[in-house]
Chains A and B, each alone.
Chain A
């Protein structure tokens, strides 16, 4: 058993001329709930489809549960963004199909429990279901095969807040009970805050931030001070001046001078600052993971790993 659930090395995928994902390198330890965040069209879906073995990469490799995506197929659950299901089947037939296609792994009781939670009539045709009910059936299919890694592409989009809350609960229970690694993408950061402990920020086909959310937050500081103040050689992700006041999000390289008032940024501030400033250097774990890592709260890579490459700052 490997303690890495998902690892990408220089992963790239091109659609015709356009690179949907480029030079993507990161490592996700097993047992995490990871948020893949980025604007629409950033490459989130491409990354998840590559990990699920639905696409073949042009460049680099993706390692899933210690092997290639094709060999890991049986141990990976995946729910695509538009929750494709066979419209002509009933809910019960859909679940039976899942049992037929996952011999030896299928947990029929779990499938029925997840589907039944949505007040679903097993005899209802899939085409007659609401968005939330479809998501529930799709999740039941993905969860009942008892995946070790669950890939969810925008799972909560087009769900009302109540259904969203319910399904997030189902997922968290799964993660807690079975130690399933969950990777879910979203373009709404707030949706994932609180339930995720790992972040992968993708912008324009590249990894911008990767790591444990706590470490990422700790590596950044929000500072404010006089407009003419100098930020020295700290890495500046974003700065803006309002009158005589300058506020900035920085990655401190050492102690801050007393001119600055410092505070911890929120996850949303961190994400937005990086998305607004595509030229800010990426912060991703080093490629060689530290040996002391286990399933506990250890960082997936040192948060200071990429500071050597961050000469280019932006003010």
Chain B
């Protein structure tokens, strides 16, 4: 009887407890979400039309040089700030998860209080991860959609580039999965160190380290597009608005070598057997493959961290 009751109705109880314990975090997340959404909605609506008007007035009147007025400035700044807030989320989540969600509970013994209140350590950790994960996912999914709207609408030529790190992440599932990876890494740091401040620092280091590594690895995991140029044309053109990979010289056998920097020195070119040049790059059409690779890697980080956290907890307690 009690066994049935505790397996069926405990999740609701632990979920309610989670919300009660982390009310402040919930409020902060609600405020951040509302603020960023409002900023993006403004940029999509009134901000965009003001910027477009100003662009037509200042820059399409035949002048060679045009200076942005307050409308364009504000449009750009609000967009950039909203994007920056989205980019900052993983760090905030990691710090919170390491310190407040897990580290402090173990430090103060309140985790042990929960574990002796009929909630097994594994279920406790599951609630600790699931409730914030659900709220984060719901929020970031909306933010990504709004960010995409603003980015695609781009009311005037703002020079927003798709491959800019923060823009790239905020335009796809990366902005949804990195906060989740941060949550899992923070929880793991909290469980490992069992104190809030060291866990906060470790969680930040972990999320920065892994996102740096994933950011470096991602472009190398999808085949580059390559363009070549002859000795006469030099490096190939047409590579604007792209992520650059390797560049260099080609020999008569088709081998890739480092550019010997001969310029027009025919003797030098002959010595090195240079017959052309190449450029590797990811064009904008590679956006989705790159997004999905990064998302997969971030999810792998999240899953590994969460699994390790559960394993650690199971080994330590009964």
Contact = CB atoms under 8 A, between A and B. Distances in A.
Nearest to A89: B20
Nearest to A102: B118
B119 interface: yes
Contact of B13 (A49, A100, A138): A100
B112 A101 contact: no
B248 to A, nearest CB: 54
A100 B17 contact: yes
Interface stretch (B3-11, B174-182, B186-194, B224-232): B3-11
Contact of A141 (B12, B14, B112, B113): B113
Interface string A64-89: 00001110011011101010111111
Interface residues of A, number: 39
A157 B12 CA distance: 36
Interface stretch (B135-143, B284-292, B310-318): B310-318
A53 B110 contact: no
Given A53-B115, A55-B318, A102-B117, A82 B14 contact: no
Q: Name the residue among B1, B17, B23, B114 with the largest chain A CB count within 10 angstroms.
A: B17
B193 to A, nearest CB: 16
A57 B318 CA distance: 9
Interface in B116-141: 116-120
B57 interface: no
A86 B110 contact: yes
A141 B117 contact: yes
A74 B118 contact: yes
B9 A56 contact: no
Contact of A86 (B1, B9, B21, B116): B21
A145 B118 contact: yes
A171 to B, nearest CB: 17
A80 B16 contact: no
B115 A84 contact: no
B5 A103 contact: yes
B109 A84 contact: yes
Contacts of A87: 108
B2 interface: yes
B14 A73 contact: no
Nearest to A70: B318
Contacts, number: 101
A104 interface: yes
A101 B317 contact: no
Nearest to B9: A103
Interface residues of B, number: 31
Contacts of A85: 110, 113
Contact of B317 (A53, A74, A89, A99): A53
B302 to A, nearest CB: 26
Interface string B27-51: 0000000000000000000000000
B6 A93 contact: no
B290 to A, nearest CB: 42
Interface in A33-71: 49-50, 52-57, 68-70
Contacts of B24: 88
A77 B318 contact: no
Interface string A92-113: 0100111111111100000000
A141 B109 CA distance: 15
B117 A145 contact: yes
Contacts of A52: 112, 115-116
Given A82-B109, A103-B9, A97 B17 contact: yes
A102 B315 CA distance: 24
Contact of B116 (A50, A57, A76, A82): A76
B14 A100 contact: yes
A112 B113 CA distance: 18
B164 to A, nearest CB: 40
A104 B108 CA distance: 28
A74 B318 contact: no
A101 B1 contact: no
Given A82-B109, A89-B20, A101 B117 contact: yes
Interface string B41-75: 00000000000000000000000000000000000
A7 to B, nearest CB: 15
B9 to A, nearest CB: 4
B11 to A, nearest CB: 10
Nearest to A98: B117
Interface in B275-318: 315-318
Contacts of B5: 103-104
A69 B318 CA distance: 6
Nearest to B23: A88
Given A55-B317, A68-B318, A105-B2, 16 more contacts: A53-B318, A56-B315, A56-B318, A73-B120, A74-B2, A84-B112, A84-B113, A93-B20, A97-B117, A100-B13, A100-B14, A101-B10, A101-B118, A102-B118, A103-B10, A104-B9
28 contacts: A52-B112, A53-B317, A53-B318, A54-B116, A55-B317, A68-B318, A69-B318, A70-B120, A73-B115, A73-B116, A77-B116, A80-B109, A80-B112, A84-B109, A84-B110, A84-B112, A86-B21, A89-B21, A100-B12, A100-B17, A101-B117, A101-B119, A102-B117, A103-B10, A103-B118, A104-B5, A105-B118, A142-B116
Q: Which 3 A-B pairs have the closest CB atoms?
A: A84-B109, A104-B5, A100-B13
Interface of B: 1-2, 5-6, 9-10, 12-14, 16-17, 20-21, 23-24, 108-110, 112-120, 315-318
